[in-house]
Amino acid sequence: MNIRNLGNTGLKVSAMGLGCMGMSFGYGPASDKKEMISLIHEAIDQGVTFFDTAEVYGPFTNEELLAEAIKPFHGKVVIATKFGIEIKDGKQMVDSRPEKIRASVEGSLNRLGIDAIDLYYQHRVDTRVPMEEVAETVGNLIKEGKVKHWGLSEAGTDSIKKAHAVTPLAAVQSEYSMMWRQPEAELLPLLGELGIGFVPFSPLGKGFLTGRFDKNATFDSSDFRSIVPRFAPENLDANQVLVNLVKQMAANKNATPAQIALAWVMAQKPWIVPIPGTTKMKRLKENLGAADVQLTPGETEDLNVALSKIEVSGDRYPAELAKRVGK
């Protein structure tokens, strides 16, 4: 697996990471712990050095799972976790007050069993706390040796500029895929200008780009996709045109649709590191195979032109969650 630089801060990671959220949270019941540890170990054997979690995943159980899995590999892997969201009365609440950040970092360090967090994201912008204050707080944690690098998740360009001016950012994490290309308008140009890496989550469109779902697909009530407009039957049906495009390129390249979707993301910029998640060993190996799929500049451009003509149906978040992104 090739290595990529995230930003200008010296953070080096595998060209593809592994998103661990779905192992414990968000996409149905938590998976078997031993199986997930085996999956993480297989990822490491295949060259993955970059693993993404958050305190709110579970909450807490995902960090604990990852801690057990990486225990034999301390110093050989890069761990990203997040602060700024907690669950109160069954609802997610943003809170990035300095004292809360400090409590969160101590909790994550203890659960992960590490001395310093490699990459610490603000999970969502807290509009009640000035971004400069958040950046200064994390900057102090970096000086204290508890955090090595930091980033923002689903932040708007103004927040990114304010944060980076106080404590330079290594990475910004947001959704990005053939199905969600909005970051190309303002976010990617800004990150390129400032020298900040980009970590796309859901690079497979929450699984849609694998071609596994049609209008008859159903999702458990504990699966986040059950409330996502994009996964309503009529939108799953309307968006099959996108899957057909990916399948056509996959056939031409002797690859799978998932591999084409991931290769396309990585082909956009050399400082983009996607973090597809999975709970299945077969899917892990398939996803990692995307690192060997090389799209030529012409193939990438052909895909981009075709994608520009496809209007994706359905919002990526329900209205309440959509209010918290891009701040």
Catalytic status, residue 57 = yes
Enumerate residues 6+ apart whose C-beta is below 8 A from 149: 6, 7, 9, 11, 118, 119, 120, 142, 170, 171
- Helices assigned H by DSSP within the chain: 33-45, 61-70, 98-112, 131-143, 157-166, 187-194, 233-238, 240-253, 257-268, 281-288, 297-308, 319-322
Structure tokens, 144: 């204290």
d(CA 38, CA 153): 28
Instruction: Give phi and psi for 311, each to the nearest 5.
Output: -100, 115
Contact 131, 159 (CB under 8 A): yes
Of 27, 57, 120, 176, which is the active-site residue?
57
* Residues involved in catalysis: 57
